[in-house]
Amino acid sequence: MMRAVSVEEAVAMIPAGASVMVGGFMGVGTPERLLDELVRQQKTGLSLICNDAATPGKGVGKLFDATLVSRLTATHIGLNPKAQQQMLANQINIDLVPQGSFVERIRAGGCGLGGVLTPTGVGTLVADGKRLIEVDGEPFLLETAIRAQFALVHAFLADYLGNLTYALTARNFNPIMAMAADTVIVTAEHIVPVGVIAPDHVITPAPLVDYLITNG
């Protein structure tokens, strides 16, 4: 059952060194309040799973500004020089994954699949250390499931039960990550009464949400 909590309480539950998935694409659709609070509470040594490193001062970029990340699974970090510096200085252990494989691995983790077979990456550096599996003579890479202890999700509307909808390109990885973590913590642009979101417009059903951050 979803609980409504303050941002301080929610982040206090995340231990240093935790694995944390964060929704968003270049900082769009990212739960900024949770990131600000992670910085305030100085949660160090995080294993971050996020599409990108955003930019300094924005989205998960704040975690790199505060050097809280020790492992990163992402698809690109090209627009955050701080993340690049920390990677080149070996302060961050980084695993770069093609974006389609990244989201399928998280989806697999959330949907109880062991992994998926993808053509992406066959014959490239990405195939190193991965199993190659043929189906009908075609080669595929086995990309295995990813899960995290926490998923930090940003929604557009959340109702009192925890049903979520997302807006425009801020949806991105949020609903997929909301299925793939032991504990799902959500911020929303608007909190609305039950029934305001039509059943056909709910993207993340309420039972997936553990904590909703209250306003103010």
Which amino acid, one-letter code, is at 35?
Answer: L
Choosing from 48, 118, 158, 185, the residue that interacts with other proteins (CB under 8 A) is 118
CB 180 within 8 A of CB 110: yes
Binding pattern for the stretch 36-75 against other proteins, x by CB under 8 A and - elsewhere: ---------------xx-xx------------------xx
Interaction between residue 124 and other proteins (CB under 8 A)? yes
Using DSSP's 3-state secondary structure scheme, residue 151 falls into strand
Using CB under 8 A, pick the residue from 18, 176, 191, 213 that binds other proteins: 176
Candidates 144, 182, 190, 215: give the one binding its own copies (CB under 8 A): 144
135 binds other proteins (CB under 8 A): no
- 3-class DSSP state for residue 51? coil
Distance CA 216, CA 213 (A): 9
**Rounded-to-integer distance, Cα 116 and Cα 27, Å:** 27
Segment near other proteins (CB under 8 A); pick from 7-15, 38-46, 62-70, 111-119: 111-119
Selection from 144, 48, 136, 54 nearest residue 93 by Cα: 48
**Encoded tokens for 182:** 């032991």
Which of 3, 40, 190, 201 touches its own copies by CB under 8 A? Answer: 201
Residue 23 has, within 13 A of its CA and on its CB side, a CA count of 32
CB 57 within 8 A of CB 30: no
For residue 39, the partner it binds in other proteins, its own copies, none, with Cβ less than 5 to 8 A by kind, is none
Size of the site for its own copies (CB under 8 A): 26
Q: Would you say 26 and 156 are in contact if contact means Cβ atoms under 8 Å apart?
A: no
By CB under 8 A, name the binding residues for other proteins.
1-2, 25-29, 51-52, 54-55, 74-79, 84, 87, 96, 98-101, 103-104, 107, 110-113, 118-126, 156, 159-161, 163, 166-176, 179, 194-195, 199-200, 202-203, 205-208
